[in-house]
Amino acid sequence: MRPGNMTQHVITVLVEDKPGVLARISSMFARRGFNIHSLAVGPTADASLSRMTVVVDGPEMEQIIKQLYKLVNTVKVTEHPPGSAVEREIMLVRINAEPSRRGEILDAAGIFDSKAVDVGKTTITFEVSGEPDKLSDFLELMAPYGIVDLVKSGRIALGRDPKSRNGRRPELRTA
């Protein structure tokens, strides 16, 4: 909705676990004209708090983060530059699979550490989870067979522990 370089940004929002807090966040995004690419909500280790992972399309995050903080139930907002967080999505995807091609499809899917979770007469449904790129790659690979249906969770993200082995500084990480 706003002009400019539409890059994706990942932010996590720690909110008080109160009724309607999701509505407050989505209402604020709608009112201010910010675009949500995906949004995932769930509990945290602290029962009084929920964590939302929001993937936002937009040129800059400063105003979005400030507006999030302005909501009374928002406790903390963290922007995750590429590589600074562990990011995961999960997907269920149903692929056209005539019996003659099943083996081929299962072989290809195996590379991705995916799981066949449902098999029909002419389709196989896979569960795939991992970094968003991995899910895209999987879909690209399966596209020629025919994607019948798919469902994706929103992305979830947790900032890396700065002392962890994988806690690379964002600028050191290659795309």
Partner 1 sequence: MSETLTGAQALIRALEHEGVDVVFGMPGGAILPAYDPLLDSPIRHILVRHEQGAGHMASGYAHATGRVGVALVTSGPAATNLITPLQDAYMDSIPVVAITGQVAQTSIGMDAFQEAHTWGISMPVTKHNYLITDVEEIPDVIREAFHLAATGRPGPVLVDIPKDLLVSTLTWHRPGEINLPGYKPSIKGHPKQVQAAVELIHASERPVLYAGGGIIRANAADRLRRFAEVANLPAVTTLMGRGAIPDSHPLALGMPGMHGNYTAITAMQKSDLLVTIGARFDDRVTGKVDAFAPDAKVIHVDVDPAEISKVRFADIPIVGDAGAVLEQLIFAMEHLLDTKEPPARKEWLDTIHRWQQEHPLTYEQDPDGPIQQQFVIQELHRITGGDAIVVAGVGQHQMWASQYWGFERPRTWINSGGLGTMGYAIPAAVGAKAGAPDELVVAFDGDGSFQMTLQELITASTEGINVKIMVLNNSWLGMVKQWQKLFYNERYSATDLSGGVPDFVGLAEAMGCAGLRAERPSDVAPAIEKALAINDRPVVVEFRCDPDAMVFPMVPAGGSNDDVVLGPEGLA
> Given the rule CB under 8 A, which residues bind partner 1?
15-16, 19-20, 23-24, 27-28, 31, 62-63, 66-67, 69-75
Give 71 or 108: the residue with its C-beta nearer to partner 1: 71
Give 1 or 119: the residue with its C-beta nearer to partner 1: 1
Give 63 or 136: the residue with its C-beta nearer to partner 1: 63
Q: Tokens 């947790």 correspond to what residue? A: 158
Return d(Cα 14, Cα 25) in angstroms, integer.
Answer: 11
- In sequence order, what are the residues at sequence separation of 6 or more whose Cβ sits closer than 8 angstroms to the Cβ of residue 162? none
Burial of 46 per CB tally in 10 Å (0-12, 13-18, 19+): exposed
**Token pair listed for 59:** 């040129």
Smallest gap from residue 108 Cβ to partner 1 (A) = 47
Smallest gap from residue 65 Cβ to partner 1 (A) = 9
